[in-house]
Structure 1
Amino acid sequence: MPTRPKLRAVRTLPPPVRLFLLSQLAFNVGFYLVVPFLAAHLSSGLGLAGWVVGIVLGVRTFSQQGLFLVGGALTDRFGVRPVLLTGCLVRIAGFCTLAATTSLPGVLAGTVLTGFAAALFSPAVETGLAHEGRRLEDGGGITRAELFALDDVVGKVGSLVGPVLGAVLLAVEFRTTCLVAAGIFGLVLVLNARWAPRDHGTVRETSVSAGWSAVLRNRRFLLFAALYSTLLLAYNQMYLALPVELERATGSQDALGLMFVLAAVVTVTAQVPLARWARRRGAATALPLGFAVSALAFGLVAAATFAPAPGWVPALAPAAAFVVVLHLGSALAGPVARDLVPPLAGERYVGAHYGALASGGGLAVLLGSTAVGALLEPGAGLPWLLLTALLLASAAGLALASRRPARPLTG
């Protein structure tokens, strides 16, 4: 029986894995210190219109997820360590830019830099975990899917600390928050510059373009990436649509930090057990179910906009239900999907395939966030219904593709 991945088991993992997990923790603390409060800064602090805020958030996500293909291919070519360190440097530059500017071009430049930094950092860490996870699984340790679940838990601990610290820093200028975040990424840079292994066993592929060509020829993977992209669009609504729902329910966004704390608590408590259950049931069951559960999260808020709850129901109930159910769906689908990427890639150009998976999601977020941002206003149910339908369509597509007699998607 494989060892069950619990937080206390982190200290028993190999040093490269522990460093990756610690880096993920610190990286998420810095990220969630700023990004959940970016929309409020853009709208309230800088006075930007809702559709402009949607574009800025979409650009941030696209510059992150959309450029993962570049970061993944660079990881395949040069290795995990140099790409990870470069990502830290770029993220520091991005937050310093956000701290120094109040103009829209400056904000766009800062958001692009912060996004591209993650496009370098995250595929590098993900590729390292994929290779180390295979070693652990082959050696009778935890499975790769369980390691990814543990990575999600560690990341969510960071997302729990980040919003709390960000909420504390709301009393000071936004630029101060950005500078604190830049300092955290400086710590990640120092740790990895000092202790990250120069070669921990990942394959150095011969060229960057070869990885891109392999991805484009892999039709099964491209179908999977297209269907999976809607989950990233759905999760991005934590930053765009959730604040609007809070405005509808309470007249302010003061509870936003609390919602991110709730999201972190759900993930920390439920991620590993749900990932273990999903691993036993298989991707053909877990993936469609995870998408269907995520669709339910949007359906609940849509119902609240069309039929307001009676007075005895707390005003934050729809938003809280959205956060809980969305993260349960993500917990079911996320680790299984990440575990599926290396087999779909044939265990070659793994970084490029992880990058392409995120890039497809980034494109979906860029297009979807612009459309949703134009439709969103307190009390509007249409954007929530559209996202519900989109997730249900992806769930159906994954179920059908997974059950094809010839080369099933998840087989």
Structure 2
Amino acid sequence: MAFGLFALATAPAGIIAAAVLTGVAGALFNPAVRSYLSREASEDRAGAFAVFNTAGDAGAFVGPLLGAALLAVDFRLVSAVACGVFALLTIAQLLVLPAREVDTHTDTVLGSWLTVVRNRRFLAFTLCGSGYFALYNQLYLVLPLEAERVTGTPAAVAVLFAVSTLLGVLFFVPIAAWGARRMAPGSCVALGLTLMAVGFVPVALSALLPTATTVEPLPGLVVLGGAVLFTLGIALANPFTMQLIPVVGDERLTGTYYGFFYLVSALVAAGVSAAAGSLLDAGAPAVAAGCVVVVGSVCACGTGWLQRRGALGGARRRTL
């Protein structure tokens, strides 16, 4: 509906309404789809989320290419095609996904949220896990701006996104399987956050280089190396974070716990991105990258501490 409105709207009010509907749809979809995956793949949640991420990365790779081609014709055509794609996906889900009985409970909306905020180990895990999204957002802020700055060409941004996306498509599932065989889920999250943080160390070093006045591809390899580590960290951190949310939360209120986790993560990510953006505007890219390293490292250490205490499973559970 939102993309259909984008295709039809000609006044600013219509475009704003379409944008609001897009946000509402995302807010409804994200917790719901993760709750569904968590319930349907209870035996291998991390593997299911790894496949989900792989499909998402494949779409992120193909979508912009198709969108750019259609945008050369007309923006309304882009919106109409997007509307059609989502309509087909809706029909496919209605036809293919098996029917499930709805688990009923007597909790009110306020009661469900109170249950969430009283769960101290979930709140601790949420604060640590929110670091994932705080760092992930820098894939669209610090990393591309630094890649273009040190190479002197916007083509470096395209290369950065292409490499990161292809790595995700190729390695999300194998890395999740490797982590599941060798580590507890909390340890996988901690290691993933560590790799994501370490991925910004080369960026902090490249930030010491002067801004390129001509096309210089070699400095971009430093940023690209950081992006590779960063993407490998995503492959470990994300599936196991999604797996752990109902574990440290409550299987009965899975959707509420996912929604709360995303709400907190969005607030933390917005704060970190605002701070990083301010530092970039102030001409301090090294400090911006360094702050991202610190955020990721603190969250990784916090997750590791929770795992060692047994709060995330894989060990004797203790109360916080």
Query: TM > 0.5 between the two?
Result: yes
Does 1:390 find its partner at 2:295? yes
Q: 1:251 to 1:313 in 2, by over 3 A?
A: closer
Q: State the 1:202 CA deviation.
A: 5.1
Does 1:408 find its partner at 2:316? no
Q: 1:258 to 1:106 in 2, by over 3 A?
A: farther
Alignment of 1:84-95 (within 5 A): 89=1, 91-92=2-3, 95=6
Q: State the 1:314 CA deviation.
A: 2.3
Equivalent residue, structure 1, for 2:112: 211
Task: Give the Cα separation in 1 of the matches to 2:135 and 2:186.
Answer: 21
One-letter code aligned to 1:186: A
For these two proteins, the number of residue pairs brought into alignment is 309
Q: With the length of structure 2 as denominator, give the TM-score of the two structures.
A: 0.84
Q: 1:122 to 1:312 in 2, by over 3 A?
A: closer
Task: Give the Cα separation in 1 of the matches to 2:150 and 2:69.
Answer: 23
Equivalent residue, structure 2, for 1:275: 176
Q: With the length of structure 1 as denominator, give the TM-score of the two structures.
A: 0.67
Task: Give the Cα separation in 2 of the matches to 1:351 and 1:120.
Answer: 10
Alignment of 1:206-285 (within 5 A): 206=106, 207-280=108-181, 281-285=183-187
Task: Give the Cα separation in 2 of the matches to 1:396 and 1:326.
Answer: 17
Alignment of 1:72-91 (within 5 A): 89=1, 91=2
One-letter code aligned to 1:229: S
Q: State the 1:316 CA deviation.
A: 3.0
Q: 1:180 to 1:237 in 2, by over 3 A?
A: farther
Residue of structure 2 aligned with 1:306, choices 208, 214, 217: 208
Alignment of 1:7-406 (within 5 A): 89=1, 91-92=2-3, 95-96=6-7, 100=10, 110-134=18-42, 137=43, 143-169=44-70, 171-172=72-73, 174=75, 176-197=77-98, 199-201=99-101, 203-206=103-106, 207-280=108-181, 281-307=183-209, 314-377=218-281, 380-404=285-309
Q: State the 1:224 CA deviation.
A: 0.3
Q: State the 1:312 CA deviation.
A: 8.3
SS in 1 for 2:41: helix
Task: Give the Cα separation in 2 of the matches to 1:100 and 1:318.
Answer: 45
SS in 2 for 1:203: coil
Gaps of 5+ in 2: 315-320
8 Å Cα contact 2:150/2:216 also seen in 1: no
Q: State the 1:276 CA deviation.
A: 1.4
SS in 1 for 2:100: coil
Coordinate RMSD, CA, aligned: 2.9
Task: Give the Cα separation in 2 of the matches to 1:183 and 1:374.
Answer: 39
One-letter code aligned to 2:38: A
Q: 1:312 to 1:258 in 2, by over 3 A?
A: closer
Q: State the 1:389 CA deviation.
A: 0.8
Task: Give the Cα separation in 1 of the matches to 2:131 and 2:20.
Answer: 22
Identity %: 35
Q: 1:249 to 1:110 in 2, by over 3 A?
A: farther
8 Å Cα contact 2:194/2:300 also seen in 1: yes
Task: Give the Cα separation in 1 of the matches to 2:73 and 2:273.
Answer: 29
One-letter code aligned to 1:302: A
One-letter code aligned to 2:54: V
Gaps of 5+ in 1: 1-88, 138-142
8 Å Cα contact 1:157/1:268 also seen in 2: yes
Deviations 1:281-311 (A, max 9, x none): 1124212111110001112111101146999
Deviations 1:223-268 (A, max 9, x none): 1011111110111122223332233034343444443332221112
Deviations 1:22-59 (A, max 9, x none): xxxxxxxxxxxxxxxxxxxxxxxxxxxxxxxxxxxxxx
One-letter code aligned to 1:395: A
Q: State the 1:106 CA deviation.
A: 7.5
One-letter code aligned to 1:129: L
8 Å Cα contact 1:215/1:221 also seen in 2: yes
